[in-house]
A and B are shown apart, each in its own frame.
Chain A
Amino acid sequence: MVAGPARHHITVCVNFGGHEMDISSIAFANSLILGLSIASIFFVAALGLTIIYGTAGVINMAHGEFIMLGAYTVYAMQTFLGVPYFLCIPAAFIVVGAIGFAVEKSLIRYLYERPLDTLLATWGVSLILIQGTRLIFGSEPKFVQIPSFLSSNVEVGGLSLGAFRIFIILMALALAASVWFIFYRSDFGIKIRAVTQNREMAASFGINSGQVYSFTFALGAGLAGVAGALFGALNIVLPTMGIEYVVEAFLTVITGGGALMGSAIASLAIGEWQSIFALVTNSTFAQFMIFVLIVVFLRFRPEGLISASGKRR
């Protein structure tokens, strides 16, 4: 990259441990764009968990493993069936959504009255999924292939971002819009919101609340599958890969408060701060600062940014 002749420098003086540094405005703008990319990763990771937690109040410890299954679905379809990457993404949604549906029907639905037990039960599910994947696919790492045009860098006037990261941002926007549409513009969404507000009352109006929960859980799992299809390309594909993302997802959901908008704002804040901290200091310190800020935030606002519903669980 050749810097343009008129390369502006704003002098952002940052004083960390006695080191002063000048950061060019372009580098700062780039880090804001990168922050958007990190935010989109956090958001996509948290989306499925947000829906399941926000609607059914189930703290789904197996969320990371649903992400992992999404990545493995793409791997398996590419390797054994030769399906192109873009078709693998909806396939991951369907396959993992179906697995989520089965888990809900066979296990979770017996536990809605006992939220603490869902914690333990879903953790058990996560262990079963990790070991099951290891038995089927082996423990050696796999990888996901992406079309070569996504392995390029898009540059506009000194600002740049990888094409694949742009793709993830677009996917995050598309998923957010679809979920918003389902929740606020469809009949199913009305049912979900009714059941979320008061399950018994909704049931008395003829809504099959059990079915609503099943499909919501399946939707959340399917979205985790899409997340896995995207992350598999960025990262290593291993049976244990979900553990890393489940932390990101929980951070986002807890900070956001369980609502869709809350998760969107929380992931944006986390992504931007992480990117800016990493620019002025380094990645390790950035991660440390993010955790500190979240702890301080939750100390003063334990319910998160936007609470999912009036009813506290």
Chain B
Amino acid sequence: MKFSRRNFLKNSAMVGALAAPSIWIPQSRGAWGATLTEGEPIKVGVLFSLTGSLAVPEEDSTLVMQYAIDEINAAGGIAGSQIEPVIIDAKSDFGVYTEKARELILRDKVISIFGCYTSASRKAILPTVMDRDNLLFYPTCYEGAECVQNIVCTGPLANQHSKDLIPFMVENYGKRVFFVGSNYVWPKESNKNAKIWLENAGGELLGEEYIPLGDSEFGPVLGKIREAQPDFIFSTVVGASDIAFHRQFKQAGFSAETMPIASLTTGEIETKAMGAEYGAGHYTSAPYFQALDNPTNQKFVEGFLSSPYGKNGVTHYNMAETYNSAYVFKAAMEKAIADHGFNEVTSMRLRDACAGIKLSADISPEGETWIDEDNFNTWLVPKIGHCQSDGSFKIVKEAAEHVAPDPFSIYPDAGTCRANGLVAPDGTVRTDVI
């Protein structure tokens, strides 16, 4: 055969076509899955950032995860096996999240991953998690608008998060609002929800500003706020930027008494990091605050802060949600082991077992919560906290009953998220909708 460019291209295409399926496509879904062996430790991945701009508050999520795993292991583990965490520092870099998620699944063969804080990192690792049929426990708030069969979320969705906060602020401070957020998907989607609550409450949106993730220059945004003179500010600024925002807000002469910031992210970690005087007077909506007055929370706060992991001195909504995710994992593992036998538990069987798992008020520091049987998000009670001069929060309002998670509440045309996928109004089912 004469070697020509044309032949070369043809042949290499053929070789490629033959080779591709055998190398790159797994023989069957689930072939990558972790295998459990009775008596051996159960490996789970813990994938948060310990360094970089997201280390506040992700480092604390790692610490509380270790605390929860120690607690479960000390009480006998799961069906006689200990949980073994593989702890990773994702360095606030979305590329690292993806790379490490793959490593956790393929090399460490973890049964599930606990991790991510920003939606950007969640969206970065989800394709990997879905490809390998693994399971992500996502222990924080997010925007929804996803129906993925490989994720269990223990934090509030956008439809649960600001529902009470916006009417509360409009009632107490006035109708004129300015939105400030970090520039990525969660703040934008949260603001879409917030706009609906704002419209229902008769409020007026004066402006909407997004600043780059991790950026700390709030001068221009504060200038626009001064120009607009809102009654309050609705903030979805995250991480280190949130601290810079609150500090510069007060330094620019604004007062929390006349123009408070109503935030979805500013918890105890953030108020401690910014200095309590900068957080005092502002509001936050979350399902958990350190000041919650119930015996389970007292035990959690005292136990955690006196443990080697409690060095940072506070508990936080993110940490309570992470703590709860460990107990959802425990309960679901026990259910899956009872149904299938220890050696037959796969990530997907674990996921199915999570449906309807209820954490009683003796386990969950934020009070009873349960996992929705259809969309695998959490039923919870959102609360509004008012930051005090010492950086702690006083609970000023609590929802009367559990609020259902609804990932597509503002996209009714998209359909309803069920366990098997997103069911459109015409009855078609789509899986893995990111």
Contact = CB atoms under 8 A, between A and B. Distances in A.
Interface stretch (A112-120, A231-239, A257-265): A231-239
Contact of A34 (B50, B220, B253): B220
Interface string B36-74: 000000000000001111011001000000000000000
A152 B216 CA distance: 19
Interface residues of B, number: 39
Interface in B8-61: 50-53, 55-56, 59
A206 B326 CA distance: 70
Interface stretch (B194-202, B223-231, B289-297, B341-349): B223-231
A143 B275 contact: yes
Interface stretch (B239-247, B369-377, B419-427): B239-247
B215 A287 contact: yes
A151 B59 contact: no
Interface centre among A139, A244, A283 (most CB of B within 10 A): A283
B220 A283 contact: yes
A162 interface: yes
B247 A138 contact: no
Interface string A1-39: 100000000000000000000001001001100100110
A31 B243 contact: no
B399 interface: no
Nearest to B216: A235
B273 interface: yes
Most chain A beta carbons < 10 A, residue from B56, B59, B214, B223: B223
A287 to B, nearest CB: 6
Contact of B311 (A34, A138, A162, A239): A138
A236 B221 CA distance: 18
Nearest to B248: A234
A151 B275 contact: no
In the complex, which of the residues B56, B220, B223, B243 has the most CB atoms of chain A within 10 Å of its own CB atom? B220
Contacts of B212: 283-284, 287
Interface of B: 50-53, 55-56, 59, 183, 209-212, 214-217, 219-221, 223-224, 226-227, 229, 240, 243-244, 247-248, 250-254, 273-275, 311-312
Interface of A: 1, 24, 27, 30-31, 34, 37-38, 41, 134, 138-143, 145-146, 150-153, 160, 162-165, 233-236, 238-241, 244, 274-275, 278-279, 282-284, 286-287
The list of the 7 closest CB pairs from A to B, nearest first, reads A153-B253, A278-B220, A141-B273, A236-B243, A162-B252, A143-B275, A283-B211
